[in-house]
Every structure is written in structure tokens, then in C-alpha cells.
Chains A and B, each alone.
Chain A
Amino acid sequence: MPEIFGQLLGVAVIASLIRAFVPLYLATLGALFNERSGIVNIGIDGMMIFGTWFGAWGSLRYGPVAGLLVATLSGTLVALVHAVATVTFRVDQIVSGVAINILALGVPRFLSIVAFGEGQETQSPAVPSLPTINVPELGAISPVVLLTIALGVAAWWVLNRTVLGLRLRSAGENPRAAESLGVRVISMRYAGVLISGAFAGLAGGYLSVELVGQYTEGMNQGRGFIALAALILGNWSAIGVAFSCLLFAWTEALTVYLRVDWINNAFIASLPYIVTLVVLALFSRRVRPPKAVGQAYEAGSPV
């Protein structure tokens, strides 16, 4: 029994919990912005995938800092497509997100062949990472970990303590009332989706540039969808999602370190997804999503 406890909460698990937490939390913060502004973004997983590819490519050509910036920018640009489709053209938000996810299955493969050469369609060469920071007990830690914590605090402050945050949230709760008070709902929703794409791109960039040091196809492993579940479990609050992401990151860390004879490894690899299903089953009805989330809004139209 003690051995199992060691496996569940040991230092090695904590270290890999932190590594799993960063991309998940970044993506969930992104999802927080788009959903609070009233737009569903199922395409967050695809935006992360674009981030993983562009992060590796940028890091290879211009160094790790540029790599992370390029990754962030790529996520933002893909988010712009989603924003134009859903906010301006008022296309079904889930359909648009699904389309982006399908694009993310094909485009990186094409780009890999063009950028890395024939026979390299599923992976990049090794790419440089940022210098690490040494933390006692936990070992070397990426500076992006600190950036993530700072961004988490910033996201909470912007959403809950600034005028911008209030306007953004009002666009997701009651857009018509918000507009009658002078809030530009369309701009707020664009802002929400673009911020979301930037976070997702950075999350992807962290995976390829910092965590692995290489782009490989499928390396995102559906983290964008787990982020959406973390958002639900965190009840759309900046503080809540920090805790829900810790839970999901912990289950992911366990898949690396948990080795129990009577559970097959293929099942352990499925653990984060099964936990996500359980969380959805337990909490979907107990939380309160933004009122107008998922509903298209036409500026200035009669009621």
C-alpha cells in the first residue's frame, strides 16, 4: 500500500503533474475567455495542434522564444478564422470548431513535408528549448511554468477586476442588454475568441518547444477537449479552473508513473479520458455556464 501512495503523490509525480498542468491550464484559460464572451470553441484542440507545429518550426529557425511567439500567433490566426465564421457569419459554433479540428489533422502534415522534407511528415527534427530554472526537489523547470502562473493571475484579474472583463462577461450573459448599455458585443466576442486562440497556441508551443523538444503528429492527445471538461468542472471561474486542471494534470501524471500489475497499460493510458467522462457525468448539471454561450448574436437587430 505505501508503495502505491508513493506512486500517487511522490516527487516524480508532482514534477510531471506540473508539466502536464501547464498546457492544460493555458488551454483552459483560453476556453474561459471565449466561453465567457458567449462563443463555444471546440476548435481549441486544433489551435493547440497548430501551436505545436509552429512552435517547433519557429524554434528551429529563430530560437525557442520566437518559437513560442510564433506558436501563440498561429493559434490566434486560426482563432480569427473561427471568430469570422461564428461571430460575423454566425455559423454554428460547433460546426466551425469541428472544421478547424479537421484542418488541424491535415495542415501540419502538409507543412511538415514542405518545411522538414519528404519522409518527415509526422515529426520535426529536435528543436532548441529555453534554458531551465533549477528548483530544489523538483529539478529543472521551464520558465513557461512561471509564465503560466502569471498568466493565470492576469486572466483572473482581467476577467473579474477590469472594465474589459465586465464587458466581455456581459456579452456572454445577456448580449442584448449589454449592447443597450453601450457594450460592443461583436468586438467583445472577437476579443474572447482571439485571446482563446493565443492561449491555445502558447499551450501547443509549450508542448513541442519545452516539454518534448520536438513536434510529433498527435502529440496534443486531445488536451483541448480535456480543457473543455476542465472548464465545466471549474464552473467557468478563473480560480475554479486552476483546481480542475490540477486534477486532470494529476491523472495524466499518473499515466506516466502508475504501474500496477493488475491494470493493463493500455487502460492506464486511457485514464485521463475516462476521468473526463466521469467528471462530465458528475458535474454537468451542477454548474452554471454563461447564459448566452453558443447563441449567435446579430448586432442591432430587433428583439
Chain B
Amino acid sequence: MKTEERPPAAPPPEPDLPPRRLQWAEQLRDLGYRLLAPASSLVFAAVVGTVVILLVQRSVEDLGDVAGAMWSYGVENKDSLAFIFGRATPLILAGLATAVAFKAGLFNIGVEGQYAIGALSAAVAGSQLRAPTLIHLPLTVLAGMAGGLLWALIPALLRVYRGAHEVISTIMMNYVANGVLLYLLSGPLKDLNQPGDVDQLRTEPIQETAQVGRMVGFFNSLGFNFRPSAPLTWFFLFALVAAVVYALTIRRTRFGYELRVLGTNPRAAEPSGIRTNAMFMKAMLLSGAVAGLVGLPEVLGLEGVMKIDYVRGFGFAGIAIALLGRNSGLGIVAAALLFAFLDRSATGIELRTEVPSEVIIILQGVLILSIVVAFELVRRLAARRRLQETHERA
């Protein structure tokens, strides 16, 4: 459908505004409402975690031990922050990838498969091309994005042209990605210098010119005292910049505006001159391209190679992070840091206590469910208050 380009409609004239000071108070209360939901769901998740630990261990001392271990590994240990920043890096990227699709009202559950293919494409470009860093590294990163985009292209096309719901198709693509990965790493792309065991499969190592260094020196020059081997790469900075770019794109550009209209009111999108199908395509492909970056900190930074047993699960965590962060750039960074902290403290629980560290995975799952319920409850609360006020004013 071809419609004239026209500027977004002017907002309707505001009814008689309350005095300015009241507006301030209202804004403050809105902020309170907005923080109430994440805060209450964090408390709820902590309560569930406590109950689970008590059910398993039946003693309150263990509870103290778990809290102590979480504190000493998550906060006190001198490398904690390096680990948390490093872990947050792929989580931020995965959260952003999911959020771009969410903004358009699309569910990209396929970040998991998209980053597998993205990491593999980057590993091929990184190990096979020969070029100076200035050309090689950007090309490798682009190859990663292209891989993720390619894997999102099929569900995007199926959705736009065949009406297939993207939830099922992206999940199917995750399984196909597994098969493709196994096939390519056990055959065409296998590093012949490595033993043939299935769990040892990997690509050839990434060239020096496509590797990304650790950010440890930078932080230590700021007064931190991280170990040189701490798992923190320059991709952390890259992820933060990506979050800022995302936030600006959503808020300040025409693309972001159209994305938001599509996500909040799909029926209004077409009449207001937004080409829905083109936007669905763009949102899904952008989401896939960003997802293609998720595996790069590991492949180009920490490991210097793509292995069959690369770290999995960031795609699913990304969904939780986008939900927890309410699809906002700042929120996603905060949620990713929280999840990274939980991952880090899981190590402490593992090493210091008898409680299985998997309790952290339960916490993360509970968090997602409680956050969506909490947002709904807070929304109702706020709506009721507003209705009351309107009545009072009348």
C-alpha cells in the first residue's frame, strides 16, 4: 500500500492542565509506579529463592551461607565487577536484539539460534580472511551481524508473506541452527589440527587482526585492580554504545516512532502512513543483526575461536532482560548487570555452599513471570488512581 508521507498527527489539545507543581508531583509518582514493579518482583523472586533453599536444606544457617557466598562473590571479590561487566556484555546485546522486535510487537524467540549462526559467520571471516585490523575487524563484526540477520530473514519472510507466527518459526530456526552448526563444525569448517571428539569440535583460530582485546588495562588505569585474565573485553563498551544508539533511535528517529506505533497500536499504523509489512521486516532483520553480535565477545575476545560448546542460553536470558528492562536502553543495561551479578554469585554458591547453584536459574525464571504480573498490577493501580482523580476533578 502506497500512502503519502505525512508528518505524525499533532497531539490532541490538552484539557485544562493542573498547576505546574502538581504535574511535577505526578511525574514523581509515575516514576515511583514504574520502579515499584521491578522492585516488588525482585523481592518476590528473592522470597521464592529463600523458600526453595529452605525446602532443600531445611536450615536457616544455609540461607545465611548462600547470602554470604552471593555477597562475597558478587560484590566483595576484586574481580567481581570485571566478571559482571564481562557477563553483562552479551546479555545487553541479547536484550537489545529482543527489545527491537518487541517494540514492533514481534516476538523474536530466535536470538539463541541467530547468535549461534552469527558467531559462526564471524569465526569464518575472522579465521579465513587476511587483512589489516582496521579492515579485518569491522568485516568480521559485520559478518557476525549478517549471519544473525540471515537467520532472522526466514521467519521475517514467513511472517510477512505467509502469515506464519514468528514465535514458532524462530524457535524452529533455533533447532535448525543446532543442526547446521553441528554439520559445519564436524565437516567443512572443522579445524583439522584438533582431535575428532564431538565435544572438541571448533573452527580454526581467529586471526590476530580480528581479535578484540581485554578492557582490563583501561579499568585498572582508573584505579581498579582486576586480574589481567578477567573475562572483560572491549565489547562491553561496544554494548553500552549500542544501548545508547538503541535508546536514541527509538526516541528520536522516524523509524523509532513508526516502530512504537506499530507495537502499541498496529491497527492505527497503516492508516497513519506506516507500511506495516516493511516495518515488520526491518524490525525483525535489525533484531537478527544485533543478535548476531551476542556471541562475538566470546569468539573474538575471550576464546579466539568458535567451539561447539560455546556459551549457550544468552538468547533466552535476553528475553527476560528485555522484559525486565521494559525495552528501554537504560533498563536493559540495568537488567543485564543484575543477571550478570546473579550469574557471578552462582559461582559463589557453587563453591561455598551445599546448595545447587541452579537456584539462580530458578530465580531468573521466577523474575520474568513476577515482573510481568507486577507491571500489570501496577498499571491497574495507576489507572484506578487516575480514574479516581478524574472523578474528583469533575
- Complex CA distance for A277 and B365, rounded to whole angstroms: 28
| Cβ-neighbour of B362 out of A94, A95, A106, A229 (below 8 A) | A106
**B52 nearest CB neighbor, chain A only:** A110
Tell me whether B376 and A91 are in contact (CB under 8 A): yes
- Take A114-B356, A280-B169 as given contacts and tell me if A102 and B316 are in contact as well, using a CB distance cutoff of 8 Å: yes
In the complex, chain B residues 335-361 whose Cβ is within 8 Å of any chain A Cβ: 356, 358-359, 361
Number of B residues with CB within 8 Å of any CB on chain A: 44
Stretch at the interface among A60-68, A134-142, A190-198, A264-272: A264-272
Residues from chain A with Cβ under 8 Å of B107 in the complex: 94, 98
Tell me whether A277 and B172 are in contact (CB under 8 A): yes
Residues from chain A with Cβ under 8 Å of B373 in the complex: 85, 89, 91
| Cβ-neighbour of B356 out of A81, A113, A276 (below 8 A) | A113
Tell me whether A280 and B362 are in contact (CB under 8 A): no
> Chain B's nearest CB lies how many Å from the CB of A90?
6
Residues from chain A with Cβ under 8 Å of B173 in the complex: 273, 277
Q: Does A253 count as interface, using CB distance less than 8 angstroms?
A: no
- Complex CA distance for A96 and B365, rounded to whole angstroms: 11
Q: Which secondary structure dominates chain A's binding surface?
A: helix
> Chain A's nearest CB lies how many Å from the CB of B331?
16
Tell me whether B168 and A228 are in contact (CB under 8 A): yes
Residues from chain B with Cβ under 8 Å of A269 in the complex: 179, 182
> Chain B's nearest CB lies how many Å from the CB of A14?
25
Residues from chain B with Cβ under 8 Å of A121 in the complex: 356, 358
**B57 nearest CB neighbor, chain A only:** A114
B293-324 vs A, Cβ < 8 Å mask (1 yes, 0 no): 00000000000000000000100100110010
In the complex, chain B residues 361-383 whose Cβ is within 8 Å of any chain A Cβ: 361-362, 364-366, 368-369, 372-373, 376-377
Tell me whether B168 and A229 are in contact (CB under 8 A): yes
Residues from chain A with Cβ under 8 Å of B158 in the complex: 277, 280-281, 284
Q: Does A225 count as interface, using CB distance less than 8 angstroms?
A: yes
**A113 nearest CB neighbor, chain B only:** B356
Residues from chain A with Cβ under 8 Å of B313 in the complex: 105
**B164 nearest CB neighbor, chain A only:** A280
Tell me whether A92 and B164 are in contact (CB under 8 A): no
Tell me whether B359 and A110 are in contact (CB under 8 A): yes
Tell me whether B179 and A110 are in contact (CB under 8 A): no
Q: Does B66 count as interface, using CB distance less than 8 angstroms?
A: no
- Complex CA distance for A285 and B162, rounded to whole angstroms: 7
Residues from chain B with Cβ under 8 Å of A273 in the complex: 172-173, 175-176, 179
Across the A-B interface, give the 6 residue pairs with the lowest CB-CB distance, nearest first.
A106-B361, A270-B179, A103-B365, A266-B183, A280-B164, A110-B358
